[in-house]
Amino acid sequence: MLRQVAAGTIHIIHYVVVISILFAFLIPAGEWLKYHIIFICVLMLDWNDMDNQCVLTALEAKLRGTWKPGGAVEGNDRPAFWRPFLRKMGIHVTRARADRLNYFLFVLSLLVCFLRYCAYKRIPLSLVGRTGMVYGSIGLGAAVLWTMNELWRVPPASA
């Protein structure tokens, strides 16, 4: 009984953490953004440590008795956060797609927080000057390559 209460509490904390990260753009910008950026980076590092799982997901699964290793076995049955959430909404995705969604949303939130912090501190992000021109060119080149890759449709190579 106590384990289920603790697991439920961790589950609620998990939702609070995810919502605070994904909806940080709704809160007025301030000094807190620099800590939020660090927090997102630390969370993403946690996903890539030795067990390849979020500490909250793993602890909740251990308390519920459903835990499976994440780093040693990259199976679809290891604990996940987004898949059960999406399943409740009638959306079924693979483990790999749920992981990609997770990374996409958190990196997008990280980028938005960084840009908001720069705007708050009035740190210019311009393409003027040597450094701006170099990074602007790299960004433009990456955008062109990404567009080419998305538009170029070829059949998969046979095994």
Task: Check: CB of residue 115 under 8 Å from CB of residue 125.
Answer: yes
Per-residue pLDDT at 96: 81
Q: What is the pLDDT of residues 84-133, one digit of tens each?
A: 778 888 988 887 888 888 899 999 999 999 999 999 999 988 888 888 89
Angle, CA 80 vertex, CA 69 and CA 114 arms, to 5°:
115
pLDDT above 60: residue 76 = no
Rounded CA separation 25/23 (Å): 5
Q: How confident is the model at residue 77 (pLDDT cuts 50, 70, 90)?
A: low
Q: One-letter amino acid identity for 147?
A: T
Per-residue pLDDT at 72: 42
Rounded CA separation 69/57 (Å): 11
Please tell me the least confidently modeled range out of 53-57, 119-123, 126-130, 155-159. Answer: 155-159
Q: One-letter amino acid identity for 60?
A: E
pTM for the model stands at 0.77
Q: Which two tokens stand for residue 69?
A: 């290793």
Q: How confident is the model at residue 74 (pLDDT cuts 50, 70, 90)?
A: low
Q: Which two tokens stand for residue 48?
A: 């890539």
Q: What is the pLDDT of residues 37-49, one digit of tens each?
A: 999 999 999 988 8
Per-residue pLDDT at 67: 81
Task: Check: CB of residue 68 under 8 Å from CB of residue 75.
Answer: yes
Q: Which two tokens stand for residue 157?
A: 């190579």
Task: Check: CB of residue 116 under 8 Å from CB of residue 108.
Answer: no
Phi, then psi, of 74 in degrees rounded to 5: -90, 55
What count of Cα atoms within 13 Å lies in the side-chain half-sphere of residue 150? 6
pLDDT above 70: residue 137 = yes
DSSP 158: P
Average of per-residue pLDDT across 126-153 = 91
Maximum distance among all Cα pairs of the chain, rounded to whole angstroms: 63
Rounded CA separation 35/42 (Å): 10
Q: What is the pLDDT of residues 1-36, one digit of tens each?
A: 899 999 999 999 999 999 999 999 899 999 999 999
39 or 72, which is more confident? Answer: 39
